[in-house]
Amino acid sequence: MLYLLAAFGPNLRQISIGLHTKSLNIVRYIRESISACKAEWKEMDNVSANYIRLLDEEMGSKRQGGFAVQELFELLVTGLPTEETKDWLMNTVMERGQKKWVKVTLSSYENMRRIASEHLQPAFERLIVLLSRLRGLARWKEQDSSVGLDSADFTR
């Protein structure tokens, strides 16, 4: 590495600027990927919230207060719906609504998993490599090799 740095000499500053620019581009890419995950989560949350609101409205007319989340949690834990939840699933949501709910949820989770494993993880790994190179350049101090970087910034 020292051989390469010595060979570049006066062009060292341009190399560090190039690495810095690449790092900023990767950070933008990470930001866009996280925004895509947020959009997937929001879509899934909107569909779920609509169904939970419907259940709350139906339960609210039969009971005092809304118990939709508790009802769905009990269904998840026990696997046995109460009569009211069963009626709601059969008459209000119906099979078509249940399929839509499952499809949106599964597809959103799969898209978030794919974004995390295929986009975010490699981007973070590449960012670590670039920051490590910049940190190495900042630590390298020989005569006329200053790149204008402070290695303490990378440690922080």
Alpha helix segments (H runs only) across the chain: 2-8, 12-62, 68-78, 83-87, 94-114, 121-139, 151-155
Query: Coil, helix or strand for 24?
Result: helix
pLDDT in tens, 79-124: 888 888 888 888 888 888 888 889 999 999 999 999 999 999 999 9
Name the percent of the chain lying above pLDDT 90.
30
Rounded Cα distance between 72 and 86, Å, is 10
Domain ranges for the chain: 12-150
Q: In this predicted model, which residue has the larger pLDDT, 109 or 18?
A: 109
